[in-house]
Amino acid sequence: MEKRFDGRKFDELREIEVKVGILSACDGSAMFRIGNTIAIAGAFGPRECHPKHLQDPEKAILKCHYDMMTFSVPERKSPGPGRREIELSSVIRRALTPAIFLEEFPKTSIDVFIQIMQADAGTRCASICAASLALAEAGIPMRDLVSAVGVGKVNGKLVLDLTKEEEDTEGAVDMPIAIMPGKKKITLLQMDGKLSRDELEEAIKLGVKGCLQIYEIQKKALKEKYKVR
């Protein structure tokens, strides 16, 4: 196999489109599209945390709500978050938490709502990219943006940014990675399947390379929002 199903090189990302500030009802919002995967995120806060028993006197709490539109996948998704969506909300929250100065806002909550409009693999990574931009636009103090992408192994080759078709290939390995690029810190690393130690190191390098490309696109989209016209 020299090329991938969609003709991409092994280390090539899908086409990316990013828009910041798309929803006026939110403090911050963003759309992140990578190939046929589209995530929209809206952020609120810091604001008084309700119910009060969830308040942390030491810091803000971050709440993430991930869900998919019923029409986002070929087989209709039943409305409302199920087990998978609750798990992914927690994964996304953990990937974003290190980037936010939560300690500056005791007793408050910061809320991020993410909807997947269309899914073709990599929705948790697209969600993290969209959410970090929404948080930034909301003016929430952050150490860095968070950039994320899927890496994996398909037909024996390490590949960047898997599609659903690639993920469904027999024996495929899927490894989502998120980083704070400026801080050079990994905030999420998961793996579905098995890689050797050498492959894992290569896969991390490939993922970091992809994240750095995404970071540039995220920064450009954020600056675009504040461009003086």
Instruction: List contacts with ligand CDP (CB under 6 A).
Output: 73-74, 77, 84, 119-124, 164, 167
Least distance in angstroms from the C-beta of 60 to ligand CDP: 26
* Signed CA dihedral, 144, 99, 187, 32: sign only: negative
Instruction: Tell me which residue has its CB nearest to ligand CDP.
Output: 123
Least distance in angstroms from the C-beta of 105 to ligand CDP: 29
- Considering beta carbons, is residue 21 or 35 the nearer one to ligand CDP? 35
**Region of residue 145 (phi > 0: left; psi between -120 and 50: alpha; otherwise: beta):** beta
- Considering beta carbons, is residue 27 or 93 the nearer one to ligand CDP? 93
Nearby residues of 82 by Cβ (< 8 Å), 6 or more positions away: none
> What DSSP assignment string belongs to 173-200?
EEEEEEEETTTTEEEEE--BS---HHHH
For the stretch 85-90, contacts whose Cβ atoms lie closer than 8 Å and that sit 24 or more positions apart, written own/partner, are: 88/123, 88/124, 88/127, 89/64, 89/65, 90/64
- Considering beta carbons, is residue 34 or 60 the nearer one to ligand CDP? 34
Least distance in angstroms from the C-beta of 126 to ligand CDP: 8
- Considering beta carbons, is residue 121 or 146 the nearer one to ligand CDP? 121
Least distance in angstroms from the C-beta of 96 to ligand CDP: 15
- Considering beta carbons, is residue 66 or 105 the nearer one to ligand CDP? 66
Least distance in angstroms from the C-beta of 38 to ligand CDP: 11
**Region of residue 7 (phi > 0: left; psi between -120 and 50: alpha; otherwise: beta):** left
Nearby residues of 10 by Cβ (< 8 Å), 6 or more positions away: 4, 157, 158, 159, 160
* Rounded (5°) CA angle 203-74-91: 45
Least distance in angstroms from the C-beta of 153 to ligand CDP: 15
- Considering beta carbons, is residue 95 or 121 the nearer one to ligand CDP? 121
